[in-house]
Structure 1
């Protein structure tokens, strides 16, 4: 930004800031901002516009470190990207309108408008990229955390483990299930594995295929697999689709599955008389 343009903006900064805060308050009714208190919203608006003016005060208008830190804090607090982009668009509009009303003829020229456009566009690109990168990183970390929790193999008795499945099973998740299943069987020395599909909403041909593959893999490493959690609607779907689950035993509940697993490992649950 040219030094004399910076001087003109700073000369009218109070007027620009006040007008901008009036306009930004109109966004307060957006659904994405409803969970933010009025005090926090006002304080954030004030800080936002101060950071924008700070980029003008810096020589050349190129130091955006504090603005980036401000944006990163908004990301962590869950503020929508729309707040940043709309705020910058309003700041652009108000700056041009305010300065075009001054007596300086340059502020009415196309060259001046282009200077302001380039300045704000640079900030928009910077903050949008910052938001995108942070969100991608957050989503990636959340995805990895969900993967770690989505298919655990839990030892419940000696040589007996349970893998509870919850939610939709796609190809990527099926691969994770297979890996966790085989690693867990070896680690826990499982002789019997119960795959519990109580929490799987739909069992179609693809899901059944993945489950069959998992059971076959378990068999190849020397363990037995029991499918539990077969609800009536799931059983009907399996029959209607002609899916063959006859290669390994199935039980309607986890309790019945554990009883069968204990029998396979030559144990049983007995009641002790008081």
Structure 2
């Protein structure tokens, strides 16, 4: 249990300590008591915010915050599931800057507009390093918890990549149809659990501008028909992902390692239509 908490910090929402024990609260609702102090986890989980002497929070689960309303009064952070945790007034000045940098949006957009990952600020790099600017991954993922895990994983291990998240395939199609060659994504990932994912895949692969972009379809375990249909529709890879979050993270990491670090993706602006 302790090893899981350290190895997959993206799964943790926050930790509450008392004496030499710590309650680990996971994003999927699990709550586990571990025989380690909160100080132990604070040293192991870099990037987590110590908002109180008894609480350590994963900033990527924070949706909003409230500054201390007055002298000698505590502030608070609101998590994406509505839970609120106090922030001691002495710690407020220490956490506000990293909180503003790493806090995720509280929800995905309603109409398919993209969400740029807060981990990757490409604006200042694009002029100096065009090759960096061209390394973009677009992903359709409407599940809020999983999209947060994707963003955190990308920020920790592939921060040189730009990431855009869409809640629908239609939203992705709308945006990609209106951009120039230099702004094309190098990799596209589609969540097969979303309605219309196969239609989005077919639309991309039937278009001479987009068909060379490596496109991966995520399919739930046991959905063999969708896997076959995915390959028939032109998917470059169909990845079966498990339902439990620790294994989901493992599968994502392996997939990203191959497509973002090993495979040679086309550079934006260098793809030519046939």
**Larger % of helix: which?**
1
**Larger % of strand: which?**
2
Same fold flag (TM > 0.5):
no
Q: Which has the larger radius of gyration?
A: 1
TM-score under structure 2 length normalisation: 0.30
